[in-house]
Structure formats: structure tokens, C-alpha cells
């Protein structure tokens, strides 16, 4: 047995902020824990300071291998105001504090705890493969991308994978739901160029490149792209409708109807919160460039947009939607991250994961879910692997999970760690035995 709380605290104390990442120390710590429990592992690296770890617990061979994938890097804390030092891993008032507690060193600690206990009982039906990588927070090319491209043989035979995020609770209409991620959006990188007449700054030129940029930014801030109802979101709404009040059920019916979905989502915006992003593509301004001298009006300025596209949409149609929303003269170029995220998700593992959630948190109702973000699942899906987001965490109902993972005061209850590890163990032991896999 390992102490899952102590392991998490130790991982948080290793600062793996990306960039630069420097995940090697975390891999070495985990390697020591695995070796102490006779679990074999290997490391693979594009950069020696940023290795990936692959461990395998052998099964009976009666089911395909199951992949666990997680990332050891974390986002930074610059400019954030924390109550406690973000890389201390301190345990205060029943919480483990620090960057990565949720995203995703906490779930990794739970995976490892479950794997160690798995080796002490009957072997699973299929091999359980643990894959811990660097660089997810900055694109994944050093980690999952490198493994998928250079070492695809490591994942031979794998049909399903578990990664981030899903299994955490949220409350809607006074009902406690537990979303299990079955799909995710696709990254689209937009470069928008605005042009206008240059000149001396002492003689302003109305309607120039800067003015067009300003108008575009206002439109991005005040307008919304069209609503699209995807199969994963339809499945989520249909599952939720069975447990909410009659009034809310009527509203969900409005969202499920293509003719009224846009107006219904707009009317419910304050209640939907971040769930609204499941209904539309989004484009968020992140980088502005232009001008090289204080007294010269620039002829050209640029805007970089982080686009997130719903599965089943195309980058061209996304660009056309964006052009209409910006409503200014500009050139829009785009690059798309390759993704095999399916508009119609494979639900073959859902019932098993839902059962594990119900055992861990009897009050929570599992539902299918599409994350508005993107994860390393997009890399593993290129190998034909169906990826689920499953990081089971029993959290307080008033805990703002989605706004805490990259924000200040990231933390996880100590009381959530062992039940989460138990949920993983439950899945490992039952995988392939009662599923026909």
C-alpha cells in the first residue's frame, strides 16, 4: 500500500510548470514508487529532461489492454494570489493545496495507488498500461505526440483509454450530476490581420487597422457564434432531463430542438454558465501584435484567436461564422490541430465508468459529457483508441472545479483521494469481465 496523500504532496512539490516543464524529477519519483511494488516501467524521451513513463500491469489476456494516460506538467501561477504557497503540497483543513492537485497530479496519484493494489489481487482481464507524459499544457508534442508518432507499438491492441476530465460532480437544478467525458472540442488557431492607411501619429486616420482591431474585439466580447447541437451534448441533455424539474425539463426540450435551441440557450445563459460552451464554437483573443514605432500609425495589426471547434464542424464553416461575427474588414487564416474526435462517440465503456461513479458517490448521477477544452486524447485517438475523460473525484457541491484547475488556490480534499483510487481499482478489476470486451 502507498499513502496516496503523501504521494500527491510530493508530486506537487516538484515544480513542473510548463514551460519549461522539467518533468524528469516527477518521473523518477513515480518510477521509485512503482519499482518498490515490483511494477515494471520504461521511459521514453524526445528531451531527456522531459521523459514519459510507461508501466504495465499484466492481465490474463482475455481482454484488450486498457490505457491510463495523464500529464505531469502544470500551468503557471504568475500573477495569481494564493492563500497558500502553490508548490508546497501542504495539507491544510483537510485539503491538499497546490498547482496540479486537480490537473492532474491528484488523479495520477489515485491511478498509481489503484495499480499498486491491483497487483496484490487477481490479475485483470487485460493489461493495464499507465502512460504519464510531459507537455500536455503546451500542445503535447514532447509527450503524447512524441509517443504516438515515434513509439505507436507501445499501444498495440489498446481499444479504450482513460484520461482527463470526468467523474467530478456539478449541480444543476438542485441535482448532483457527474459528467463522464466522451468527446472534446478541436483546436483551431486563427490569425486575423487588419489593415489600414499608415501615417504620422500626429494626424490620426479614422477607421485604420487599430480601429478595426478594436471593433473586432468588442464584437468578440459582446456577441456569440451560432448554436450547434452535437450528438454528445444531445446525449447529455437527454440524460439530465430524466432527473430535473418539469420546468427545467421543458427548457431542455427547447435546447434539443434545432429550431429553438439558440433562443433557449440565450435565455438560460446565466444558469448554464460554462456549459454554454458545449453548444457553440468559441474564439478567444489571446495575442495582439502590431506597430513598431510610437509616432507611426501601423498599416497592419494582427490578432491571434484560440478557437475551439465542436466535433462534426469544419474549420472553413467555423471561419465563416467568425467572419460574420467580427463584421469588419480583415483576413482570417487558420490552422487546425489534427483530431479524430468523433461527432458520434463510442459509448462502449460508459456503463462501467458510470457504475464506478455511483459506487464512489451514490448521490451523483453519471451523464455523458463533451469537454469544451482539448486534451491529450486527441493524440491517442489517432491510433484508433477511444478516449474517455475519467478522473473520479468526490468534491463538495459548492466547489468550483472548472474555474479552479488553472486558477488560484487549486486544491483537492484529502477525503476524495482514496475513494477516487477505489473507483479506478473497481474499473480495472471489472474491465473486460462483464462487458464482453
Mean pLDDT of 64-90: 97
pLDDT at 393: 94
**In angstroms, what is the C-alpha Rg of the chain?**
23
CB 188 within 8 A of CB 375: no
Question: What is the predicted pLDDT for the residue at 60?
Answer: 96
Q: Give residue limits of the domains in the chain.
A: 4-171+342-430, 186-226+280-340, 227-272
> What is the C-alpha to C-alpha distance for residues 109 and 6, in angstroms, rounded to an integer?
9
Residue 100 scores a pLDDT above 80: yes
The reported pLDDT for the residue numbered 221 is 96
Residue 294, CB-side half-sphere exposure with 13 Å CA sphere: 0
Distance CA 427, CA 430 (A): 5
**Per-residue pLDDT averaged across 247-260, rounded?**
93
Percent of the chain clearing pLDDT 90 (strictly above)? 87
- What residue spans of 41-192 are helical by DSSP H? 105-118, 144-150
Q: Which stretch of 365-369, 372-376, 430-434 has the lowest confidence by average pLDDT?
A: 430-434
DSSP 313: -
Residue 321 CA to residue 35 CA, distance in Å, equals 53
Question: What CA–CA distance (Å, rounded) separates 40 from 433?
Answer: 24
- Tell me: pLDDT of 48 over 60: yes
Please tell me if the domain spanning 4-171+342-430 has the same topology as the one spanning 186-226+280-340: no
Mean pLDDT for 298-318 is 95
Q: Residue 418: helix, strand or coil by DSSP?
A: helix
Q: Note the pLDDT of residue 434.
A: 64
Find the mean pLDDT for residues 138-165.
96
Whether residue 336 is predicted with pLDDT greater than 80 in this model: the reply is no
Instruction: Say yes or no to pLDDT of 196 above 90.
Output: yes
pTM for the predicted model, two decimal places: 0.92
Q: How far apart are CA 322 and CA 369, in angstroms?
A: 25
Going by pLDDT thresholds of 50, 70 and 90, the confidence category of residue 340 is low
Q: How far is CA 254 from CA 182, 236, 257, 263, in A?
A: 23, 14, 5, 8
Is the pLDDT assigned to residue 437 strictly greater than 70? no
Query: What rounded mean pLDDT belongs to the chain?
Result: 94
pLDDT, residue 258, reads 85
Mean pLDDT of the 217-228 span: 96
CA distance 122 to 140: 35
- Beta-bridge partner residues of 190: 305, 334
**Yes or no: is domain 186-226+280-340 CATH 3.30.70.360?**
yes
Q: What is the CB-side half-sphere exposure of residue 436 using CA atoms within 13 A?
A: 2
**Alpha carbon 10 to chain centroid distance?**
23
Class of residue 316 by CB neighbours under 10 A (exposed 0-12, middle 13-18, buried 19+): exposed
Q: Supply the pLDDT for residue 335.
A: 85
Average pLDDT over every residue of 289-298: 94
pLDDT at 373: 87
**Amino acid 275: pLDDT:** 85
pLDDT at 436 over 60: no
- For the segment 92-99, the average pLDDT, to the nearest whole number, is 97
pLDDT band at 341 (very low <50, low <70, confident <90, very high): low
Count of beta carbons in the 10 Å neighbourhood of residue 253: 14
How many whole angstroms separate alpha carbon 166 and alpha carbon 180? 4
Look up the CATH superfamily of 4-171+342-430: Zn peptidases (3.40.630.10)
C-alpha cell of 332? 482570417
Residue 338's pLDDT is what?
Answer: 64
Distance CA 208, CA 300 (A): 9
Nearest to 45 by CA among 158, 145, 156, 127: 145
Amino acid at each position: 500500500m502507498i499513502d496516496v496523500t503523501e504521494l500527491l504532496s510530493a508530486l506537487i512539490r516538484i515544480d513542473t510548470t510548463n514551460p519549461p516543464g522539467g518533468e524528469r524529477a516527477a518521473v523518477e519519483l513515480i518510477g521509485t514508487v512503482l519499482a518498490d511494488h515490483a511494477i515494471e516501467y520504461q521511459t521514453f524521451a524526445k528531451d531527456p529532461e522531459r521523459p514519459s513513463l510507461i508501466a504495465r500491469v499484466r492481465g490474463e489476456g482475455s481482454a484488450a489492454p486498457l490505457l491510463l494516460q495523464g500529464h505531469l506538467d502544470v500551468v503557471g501561477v504568475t500573477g495569481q494570489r494564493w492563500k497558500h504557497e502553490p508548490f508546497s503540497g501542504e495539507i491544510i483543513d483537510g485539503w491538499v493545496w497546490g498547482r496540479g492537485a486537480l490537473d492532474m497530479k491528484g488523479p495520477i496519484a489515485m491511478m498509481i495507488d489503484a495499480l499498486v493494489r491491483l497487483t496484490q489481487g487477481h490479475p485483470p482481464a487485460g493489461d493495464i498500461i499507465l502512460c504519464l507524459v510531459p507537455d500536455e499544457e503546451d500542445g503535447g508534442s514532447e509527450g503524447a505526440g512524441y509517443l504516438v508518432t515515434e513509439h505507436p507499438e507501445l499501444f498495440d491492441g489498446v481499444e479504450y483509454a482513460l484520461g482527463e476530465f470526468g467523474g467530478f460532480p456539478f449541480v444543476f437544478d438542485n441535482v448532483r450530476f457527474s459528467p463522464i467525458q466522451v468527446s472534446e472540442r478541436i483546436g483551431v488557431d486563427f490569425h486575423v490581420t487588419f489593415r489600414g492607411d499608415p501615417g504620422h501619429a500626429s494626424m490620426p486616420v479614422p477607421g485604420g487597422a487599430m480601429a478595426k482591431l478594436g471593433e473586432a474585439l468588442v464584437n468578440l466580447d459582446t456577441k456569440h457564434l451560432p448554436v450547434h447541437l452535437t450528438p454528445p451534448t444531445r446525449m447529455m441533455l437527454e440524460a439530465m432531463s430524466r432527473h430535473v424539474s418539469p420546468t427545467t425539463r421543458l427548457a431542455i426540450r427547447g435546447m434539443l430542438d434545432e429550431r429553438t435551441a439558440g433562443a433557449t440557450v440565450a435565455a438560460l445563459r446565466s444558469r448554464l454558465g460554462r456549459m454554454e460552451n458545449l453548444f457553440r464554437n468559441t474564439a478567444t483573443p489571446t495575442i495582439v501584435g502590431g506597430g513598431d514605432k510610437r509616432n507611426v500609425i501601423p498599416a497592419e495589426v494582427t490578432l491571434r484567436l484560440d478557437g475551439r471547434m465542436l466535433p462534426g464542424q469544419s474549420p472553413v464553416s467555423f471561419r465563416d461564422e467568425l467572419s460574420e461575427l467580427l463584421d469588419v474588414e480583415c483576413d482570417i487564416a487558420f490552422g487546425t490541430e489534427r483530431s479524430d474526435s468523433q461527432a458520434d462517440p463510442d459509448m462502449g465503456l460508459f456503463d462501467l465508468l458510470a457504475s464506478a461513479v455511483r459506487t464512489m458517490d451514490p448521490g451523483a448521477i453519471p451523464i455523458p459529457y463533451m469537454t469544451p477544452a482539448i486534451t491529450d486524447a486527441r493524440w491517442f485517438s489517432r491510433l484508433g483508441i477511444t478516449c474517455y475523460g475519467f478522473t473520479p473525484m468526490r468534491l463538495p457541491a459548492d466547489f468550483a472545479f472548472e474555474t479552479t484547475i488553472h486558477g488560484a488556490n487549486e486544491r483537492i480534499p484529502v477525503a476524495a483521494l482514496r475513494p477516487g483510487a477505489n473507483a479506478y481499482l473497481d474499473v480495472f478489476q471489472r474491465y473486460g469481465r462483464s462487458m464482453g470486451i
